Structures are given as structure tokens and as C-alpha cells.
Chain A
Amino acid sequence: MLNIFKIAVRNLMRYKRRTLLTASLVAIGVVFVLVFISVSGSFKNMMIGQITDSFLGHIQIHKKGYVASIDSLPLTMNLGQKAFEKVEKAINEIPDIEAYSKRIKFGGMFSNFVETTNVRLNGVYPEDEVKTVPLFLSRVKEGGKDIKPGEILVPELLAKGMKVKVGDTVVVIATNKDGSVNGKQFQVGGILESVTGPGGRDGYIHIEDAMEILRMDTMEISEIAIRLRDFDELHSAFDRLRDKLSNELNKQGGPAFEVHTWEKLSPFYNIARMIDIMTFFVKLMLIAIVLISIMNVMVMAVYERIREIGTIAAIGTLPGKIVAMFLIEGFSLGFFGVVIGNILGVAVISVLSVAKLTFNFGRQKGLLLSPSINLQDILVISIIVITISVIASLQPAYKASRMNPIDALRHV
């Protein structure tokens, strides 16, 4: 086999310029795909990170049916103390979970004593919220980076519209699940920058203040946001959590809880999927480039070496070995292209990474482009290119092996 490789490499070197051009074409394709995967991956991770780390968390748990009616923020579908204890037990049994945050979500009226508007509010324990969505505090563009009892973090657009600033006194009025109305004065503790997506325009207060407004004697939780230690474990952690909670039934005998990953909760998941689909089509383009260029070279190689094929067939080389010779030639061409492409691709990605390029994404300014490529992607691309190189050589190799030695030897 080593000798067939040696002959294949020498045959490729026979037409150095053509081999170099074809290998370069394959290499450029590999570089393009690797850079595209790394840059689009960077965009995607950044986007997912912005959403999950700013407010959504990686996984959320609600009472069954809550998400379907989330627009009305139904207080009647909160989790009671016993239900929450069951959820907490399940969470504590999964070591992949790094942190979780209890939230009381409700709608209310927000007044600056001159004007009134509606607002969505989240009552949270600030320490738990920051552990679960670590970019939360980075959204506070004015004021203190905390949620003290008696303070409210007001979403930026609401603050602008209502002309309130840090230190102002405002009133929040809400109706509890029994229908009784209650109000409470707050001091504006900070202005919260908006993030794109659901929940991006929500205000935040301390969970004890939420309980006070809603006149809760015991805590009733609307949602539990969860952060994982490793985002790659999302689906396995989700499966375990869902399995653990699926045994818990409500009074009607149906499931008591519903568990969702961020993918089911954010429309941005579709954009992430579109990036994956674009990557897939870029890979298809690479396959087409490799297929056409390698096949072209191998067809030429067979045509130029007809007499040589006739000679080796005449002296007794079996058709299978002739096929192997040409397949290995195609394999070697693809392999060279992949090696060069991987080296250049990793170099380009490293340069882009070191260059620390920034860009603007909607209202987000100065986002850092941090492209990276993992070994698995490099291996997948390499295997695709090499496999396609061999497939592209199949037809010419088969043709060579089926040549009539007499006709081949007569060829001029």
C-alpha cells in the first residue's frame, strides 16, 4: 500500500502546477468553510449568550400550561411552596446545574405621579438572578448594580417614555390572584438596558417586594430559570430534569410541570438554526468545489496516461489494483488540500481572534468577534473533503481499470 501511495504522489508531482492549483482550490474551499464556521459560530454563540445570560437562562421550569398563557402572566398558574420544593429537589440532584433563580412575574401599572403605563415585572433574589443570568447586571446602564428592597430597575424605553431617572420615586400598582389591587412606592434604583427578545423590556424588583404587592403569605413562583455549568450539556440536563419531573402529577392526573430549554422559549433559536442551515449549504459548496476539481484532474490523469494504463494492465496488474492506484491519487490530492487548508484556516481564525474585531448588533455596540474552531469541526470537514476526493476519483479509476489493454497500448 505504501508503494501505491509513493507512485500516486509521484504521479501527482508529474504535473506540479496542475496539482498545486487543484490542491490550492481545495485548500481555499477548506479555509473558507472553516472561517465561515468559526465566524458564524461566534455570532451564534454571542447571540445565544446575550439571550440566555441576560435574562432567559438555559432552561426554565413552569407550572404546566404557564408558557402557553405567558402573555397574560397568570398569577393563578404560579408554583406553590410544595411544588417548588419538588422542583428544587430535582434541581439539586443534577450536578450539571450551576445556579437557578426563582421569579415572580406579574403585570402592573407604573406611575410617575403624572403619567401611568403598564409594565411587566420580575420579582427576583438579586444574588440568584446574577448567578443564573450573569450578564444581567451589565444591562444596568445607570444606577447601582443591585436590586435592593424598595428599589426598581426600570427598562430603558419605559424610563425614557415616562421621563424617570435614577433616584425618582414611582408607584407600582398590581392586582393579585384574588383580584384585590395593591400599590407600593419604589425608588428607581437603575435603568435597565433592553435586550432583544421576550423579557427584554421587563422591570425588576426584589422578590420580597413582589410578594408584598401581590399580598402573598407564602412565596408562589412563576418560573425558575436555570444555568448549567456547561452549555454543551443542555440537552442531557434537560432530559434528566424532564424525566425527574415527569413523575410529578397534578390533581387531574396530568403532568404538574413543564420544562423548556431556551430554544423553545426564544424566537432567536430560529435564527441560530438558520445559521446552521447556512453552514450546511456552505459545506455543500465545498463538496461541489472538491468534487468538480478532483474529478476534473483525475479524468485528465486517466486520459493522459492511457498508454501507461495499457502497459501496467498488459504486464498483469489486476483491475482492482488499477482502481486503487487512481483512488489513492485522488485521496492524496484531497489530503494535501485538507492539510494546507486546515493550516491556513486555523491561521486565519487565530489572526481574526487576536485582532479582536468588534461590531454592532442591533442596539448592542462593540460586540467582540471571537471566532474559534473546534477539533471536531476540523475533523468533519477533513473527512468530508477526503471522502469526496475519493468519490470523485471513482469514475475515472473504474474507467482506467476497464480499459482494453490493446486499445490503451495503441493510444497516441
Chain B
Amino acid sequence: MSLVTADNLSKAYAKGELKVEALKNLNFEIEPASFVSFVGPSGSGKTTLLNLIGCLDKPTSGVLTVDDTDVSGLNTRMAAAFRGRKIGFIFQDFNLIPVLTVYENVGYPLLMVRNTPSPERKRRILTLLEAVGMAEKKNKYPDQISGGQKQRVAVARALVTNPKLVLADEPTANLDHKTAYMVIDIMKKMKNELGTTFIFSTHDQKIVGEAEIIYPLEDGELTKGRG
């Protein structure tokens, strides 16, 4: 049973009087516990596709199913609740909350989204921080750690609710090569340990090689998939 299924998925924007087709009739299936990358140049539709899978946007046509739920019909509140339950996010700019410590940033989804009780929350946060190698920095604020460390914290935050799917939009774009590989390694490790599906977008050809399945995107169309 696929975790994500796209059936003739299209997304068009109106830009003034011009209609821009960002995604055109995409069809794909992503299995649970896979490590998938959408690859393509800037403007190819990677972010738009991740936004659709992440229930941040709605398709113009077609059907998109995530964990057996047709997400194209969810309203704002239902979509937020769905994301909180099923999806973790890793952002290109890390997007940690500056007034919270590393520990509090990782715990934020458990506290504000899931209302997880304190002992369970503490256990999950520390486990994830250990896994990404950031336990020692748990009391630091985001402006006190490096970019690579921030992204490791972001990975921990994305996984702390034990989601079925983690979406990462250009997670290594703001990192140097060595750090980028380290972050990808951590994501892979977490996928193997927790069985979480990772879908990330990148335009970096070297990072692409780390994915198990690659979907190349060009002008909103999938050119061919590689396993």
C-alpha cells in the first residue's frame, strides 16, 4: 500500500492574466519507509509538489492521497491537524524558533500540536536529540549553533511526533558539502531506525545520489523515475 499517490496531479497559478502550469498531470506512488528525492532546476515545480503533499496547498486537478487520505479536500483547519499528525517538515532555512532553546524547538510540535504529556515529551525529545547528535547543545538557542547543527535540530523536530512522512525542501541548500552529507546521513539513519518516509527536493546532483528513488522534474513534468 503506497503512502503517497498522485493521480493526474496538476497545479496552475494565475499570474496576472497569465496562467502558469506549475505541475502537469503527475502520476507517481511512494512506498512507506522510502527515501525519495525530487530533482530539478529552479522553477521545475519541486517546492509546489512538496507543498501539495504537505497539505499546504491544494491541487488544481487530479487526486493526491497521503496515508489513505485524499488531502485535496481538506479545509485549512483539517489540513493543519493532518500535518500535525502525519507529516514532519524540514526547511531550507532551518526555521527554528529563535526564542526557544534547541530542546524547546524539538519539543514544540509535541507541546503545541500534539499536547503530549511531559514525561513522554521529555523522553522523545532527548531520544531524538541523541540520535541527531545534538543532546549536548540542548540548552543553546538557535543563534548559538551552526547552520549544520540547526538543520540537525530541524530534523529532530520533524521526527519528534513520529510522523509517517517527512518533507524536506532543499534541506542542504544553505549548508556546505560536508555538513550537507552529514544531514542527509542523519535523515537516512532516522529513516532506517524509525521507518519514516523521507521526501526531499534538491537541485544538487551530488546529494541526489544519496536518494533511493529519484523523480526528475522539469517544467512541472516528471521526466522519468529511477529506483
Contact = CB atoms under 8 A, between A and B. Distances in A.
Interface stretch (A25-33, A209-217, A304-312): A304-312
Contacts of B87: 316
Interface stretch (B27-35, B50-58, B178-186, B210-218): B50-58
Contact of A314 (B77, B89, B93): B89
A318 B81 contact: yes
Contacts of B8: none
A312 B97 contact: yes
B84 A315 contact: yes
Contacts of A308: 95, 97-98
A313 B98 contact: no
A10 interface: yes
B51 A317 contact: no
Contact of B112 (A13, A310, A312, A319): A312
B81 A316 contact: yes
B108 A312 contact: yes
A344 to B, nearest CB: 28
A7 B83 contact: no
Contacts of B77: 318-319
B108 to A, nearest CB: 7
Given A3-B112, A313-B80, A406 B56 contact: yes
Contacts of A163: none
A313 B88 CA distance: 12
B97 A314 contact: no
A311 B98 CA distance: 12
Contacts of B109: 315-316
A352 interface: no
Contacts, number: 67
Interface residues of A, number: 23
Contacts of A314: 54, 56, 83, 89
A312 B96 CA distance: 9
A10 B76 CA distance: 28
B197 to A, nearest CB: 17
Contact of A315 (B57, B93, B100, B108): B108
Interface string B149-192: 00000000110000000000000000000000000000000000
A316 B85 contact: yes
A10 B99 contact: yes
B100 A317 contact: no
A327 to B, nearest CB: 15
B95 A409 contact: yes
A14 B99 contact: yes
A3 B111 contact: yes
A316 B93 CA distance: 18
Given A313-B80, A316-B85, A321 B97 contact: no
Interface of B: 51, 54, 56-57, 76-77, 80-85, 87-89, 91, 93, 95, 97-100, 108-109, 111-113, 157-158
22 contacts: A4-B112, A7-B97, A7-B99, A13-B99, A14-B99, A308-B97, A312-B108, A313-B80, A314-B56, A315-B83, A315-B88, A315-B89, A316-B80, A316-B84, A316-B85, A316-B87, A317-B80, A317-B112, A318-B77, A318-B113, A405-B56, A409-B95
